[in-house]
Amino acid sequence: MKNVFLQHKLCSMQKPLILVTNDDGITAPGLRALVKFMKEVGDVFVVAPDSPQSGMGHAITLDNTLYSKKMKVDLMNGAKEEYSCSGTPADCVKLGLQELLDRRPNLCVSGINHGSNSSINVIYSGTMSAAIEAGIEGIPAIGFSLCDYSWEADFDQAKESIIKIVKEALENGIPKGVVLNVNIPKLSKKELKGIKICRQARANWKEKFDKRTNPMGKDYYWLTGEFELLDKGEDTDEWALANGYISVVPTQFDLTAHHAIQHINNWNLHE
């Protein structure tokens, strides 16, 4: 009886296990900052791509082999264990949960991404797709992004806010089927006004293709474009970011348009 009580006490004292991943690669400054922050909250386990995987969305590797390698990227501020993965961000989470971890993590955090994943960008984001993959597996998950594409971006300015959001998620839980999309404006710590819970702004990309010809006479294209905000609401992530707030959007991976079911049911499809 005494041994059972002791075992229960030890389990209750166990630090939360936090799985950290991203899409910019295992050596990216954003991930290294997130690892450092998460070490103040719990035990950290990293599975991240061995090379940049931005814009991969929720792609997974089906027709090729996956490789993982145990690493130690930062001897001073590194995680308890770290693995690079040859696949996509979603692959990293799948491999971590099914093969590399010896216990179920209490939380998965993805990022910190170099650049915004607000509004429509969430669709294309490897950062958010990694978090969503964890959510699909029933792991509470959060994606973090900083609206600064620079490799030398200052991630420390949002440290307190990131830790606060993570601690609240661990203490209060995240609703089932929901993943948090957190975006941080490019501001100093003093300039940050706070945190706002938002909806995703309606927006789109007006795409353009820069058509060129290589020396062999073959045409090729560079994708470019302009971000087009279609939403003037003051309850959106884009408004929050533009006005100095960190935006938190509860995102769901059930893509059913429930409000449209009745409308489609009125179509003449059943005869």
Domain boundaries, the chain: 2-265
pLDDT (tens digit, 9 = 90+) per residue, 107-118? 999 999 999 999
266 annotated as ligand-binding: no
- Inform me whether the pLDDT recorded for 152 exceeds 80: yes
Higher pLDDT, 78 or 158: 158
54 is in an annotated binding site: yes
Strand 81-85 versus strand 68-71 pairing type = antiparallel
- Across all residues in the chain, what is the average pLDDT? 92
| Residue 138: per-residue pLDDT | 96
For residue 71, report the phi and psi dihedrals to the nearest 5 degrees.
-135, 165
Question: What is the DSSP-derived secondary structure letter of residue 99?
Answer: I
Is the model's pLDDT at 8 over the cut of 60? Answer: no
Q: How confident is the model at residue 85 (pLDDT cuts 50, 70, 90)?
A: very high
Q: What percent of the chain has pLDDT over 70?
A: 93
Residue 219 pLDDT exceeds 70: yes
231-251 pLDDT, tens digit per residue, is 999 999 999 999 999 999 999
Strands 107-114 and 141-146: parallel
Is the pLDDT confidence value at 4 over 90? no
Position 271 scores a pLDDT of 66
Cβ-count burial 11-40 (b if 16+ within 10 Å, e if not):
eeeeebbbbbbbbbbbebbbbbbbbbbbbe
pTM: 0.90
Task: From residue 161, give the alpha-carbon distance in Å to each of 34, 105, 147, 157, 164.
Answer: 12, 22, 15, 9, 5
State the fold for domain 2-265.
Stationary-phase Survival Protein Sure Homolog; Chain: A, (3.40.1210)
The predicted structure's pLDDT at residue 171? 97
Is 116 within any annotated ligand binding site? no
